[in-house]
Amino acid sequence: MVQDNDKARVAKRKVDEDLMEDSEAVNLAADWADISQGLRKDLGHQLHSQWIKPIQLGGICKETGTLDLYLPTEFSANWVNDRFHDRLQLAWKIMRSEVRKVRISVHPGRRQLPELMLDNGRRPANDGLDTSVIAVAAGTIGDAGFTSSVGLDPSLTFAAFVTGEANVLAKNAAERMAATEQPQFSPLYLKGATGQGKTHLLHAIGHAYLSAHPRARIFYCSAERFMVEFVQALKANQMIEFKARLRSFDLLLVDDIQFIIGKASAQEELLYTIDALLAEGKRLVFAADRAPQALDGVEPRLLSRLSMGLVADIQAADIELRRSILESKLTRFAPLDVPDDVIDFLARTITRNVRELVGGLNKLIAYAQLTGQEVSLNLAEEQLTDILSANRRRITIDEIQRTVCQFYRIDRSEMSSKRRARAVVRPRQVAMYLAKVLTPRSYPEIGRKFGGRDHSTVIHAVRLIEDLRKRDADMDGDVRSLLRQLES
């Protein structure tokens, strides 16, 4: 009888434990749904679907406070760990106080899925991802303080950075900051919209500076990472060590400084760190998606430090720069043939940022390789629907005509007139060319917008301007200027 009672108690305890585990799993799933939804808003649908949505929840270790997150392949686990670890860990710490650490890996019992390989057996370097949230090893607080690993992406160098009118100032300023001689300005503040190359330049500065100063100590992190380390040091009563080690670095690289907005204690610590490093002639580089003066919630003293050096603006890449970037990336896929009309199509239609542009190219080539199809204009239109629709800003023929007339200082009525004077004909032909390049309108449709002209007249104008751009630098310059105006 006693033995039966013992068995019953054991069985009941097992049922209770199972119920507790089930309840904990349900609570974790609910929290993850909230966190995932927030990340979807921050990162966008494409990044979220590709990297965050496949994450599966593991359990929480009660002793260490470690939460396991699992991904289907080693490659995806490493990628998410590098790019999103800090953001995931911070989100879980806010959601559940018992979570002290997030560990991202492949499920130990899961069979590895085949991973996509590109030329020469390499995995695809997905430049379409948000590298502004890379987790940096050079900032981990522990018993020994900051570790010595810098955490720079080896592919993000000055040699790999394609320069154009939109980013030449920032590129030259970044090279000066990394040079052997002391720069004339510090700090350097890189300002540009998402995906325009700020993070690339930060990594490039780190690589070049290490090359010139092999024994240098570099600290690279996002402002979000800085916040995490600051809070951890504060909780662990290690603020003295945190300050000492932070100020021992020769080069400080802080990305996405806009995320430090409103954090008074962290702002104060960053302010004192800037002052200490500048006093010792150290180098500082910050990057943000807006100018220092537009950083709401930043105290005036820190604002003055951020803007006291050089603020280098990175403008949106124009069509020529976008085309050059695509052509530079194609060297990774040689001898794969990508037709010129596909490159021109991508450069004209994916205009929001460079990261999305290169991501579209990578996706197109990966699809072609996996399915054995040739890269073509039709394939690009079919497989990049989401990216293209998000980037497409409808430029009208009326807008083109108005812009061309203002540029050449002629009356708008000349676009439809029958006059044959050269001062009128050439701008009209340029407008027809731009209408074909920037709109989906057919030749007959364009002709009707230019005073009912025949489609053969439009074809002649398009071919003529294409030929003149190759032979006449002035004409090419005019068209480039008009393209920038219309796409801005």
Residues 308, 327 within the same domain:
no
DSSP 126-153: -TTS-GGG---STT--STT-S-S-----
CATH code of residue 332: 1.10.8.60
Domain membership flag for residue 13: no
Question: Is the CA virtual torsion 95, 97, 100, 106 positive or negative?
Answer: negative
In Å, the largest CA–CA distance within the chain is: 113
Cα 317 from Cα 488, distance rounded (Å): 10
DSSP 293-304: GG-TT--HHHHH
Q: Is 221 helix (H, G, I), strand (E, B) or coil?
A: strand
Cα 347 from Cα 357, distance rounded (Å): 7
pLDDT of residue 198: 93
pLDDT of residue 117: 29
Cα 257 from Cα 170, distance rounded (Å): 17
**What average pLDDT is seen over the chain?**
80
Number of structural domains the chain divides into = 4
**Could you tell me whether strands 251-255 and 218-222 are parallel, antiparallel, or unpaired per DSSP bridges?**
parallel
**Could you tell me whether strands 56-61 and 66-71 are parallel, antiparallel, or unpaired per DSSP bridges?**
antiparallel
Of 274, 298, 314, which marks where a domain is finished? Answer: 314
pLDDT tens digits, the chain, 488 residues: what are they? 545 555 555 554 554 444 345 456 667 777 888 788 778 776 777 677 778 888 888 888 888 889 999 988 777 788 888 888 888 888 888 778 788 889 998 877 544 333 332 233 333 333 333 333 222 333 333 333 333 335 688 888 999 999 998 999 999 999 999 988 888 888 999 999 888 999 999 999 999 999 888 888 898 888 877 887 888 888 888 888 888 888 888 999 999 888 776 667 888 888 888 998 888 889 999 999 888 888 877 888 888 999 899 999 999 888 889 999 999 888 777 667 888 888 988 888 888 888 888 888 888 888 888 888 888 888 888 888 777 766 666 788 999 999 999 999 999 999 999 888 888 999 999 999 999 888 878 888 999 999 999 999 999 999 999 999 989 888 988 998 898 788 76
Domain membership flag for residue 138: yes
Q: In degrees to the nearest 10, what's the CA dihedral of 190, 195, 197, 199?
A: 70
Of 340, 373, 391, which marks where a domain is finished? Answer: 391
Containing structural domain, residue 296: 122-314
Residues 307, 335 within the same domain:
no
Residues 434, 377 within the same domain:
no
pLDDT of residue 391: 64
The secondary structure of residue 428, as a DSSP letter, is H
Residues 145, 250 within the same domain:
yes
CATH code of residue 168: 3.40.50.300
Residues 285, 371 within the same domain:
no
pLDDT of residue 126: 37
**Could you tell me whether strands 283-288 and 251-255 are parallel, antiparallel, or unpaired per DSSP bridges?**
parallel
Domain membership flag for residue 4: no
Residues 425, 381 within the same domain:
no
pLDDT of residue 222: 83
Residues 352, 426 within the same domain:
no
Closest CA to 116 of 71, 72, 75: 75
Residues 377, 439 within the same domain:
no
Closest CA to 366 of 117, 51, 65: 117
Cα 222 from Cα 267, distance rounded (Å): 14
Residues 292, 195 within the same domain:
yes
Residues 85, 226 within the same domain:
no
Residues 127, 214 within the same domain:
yes
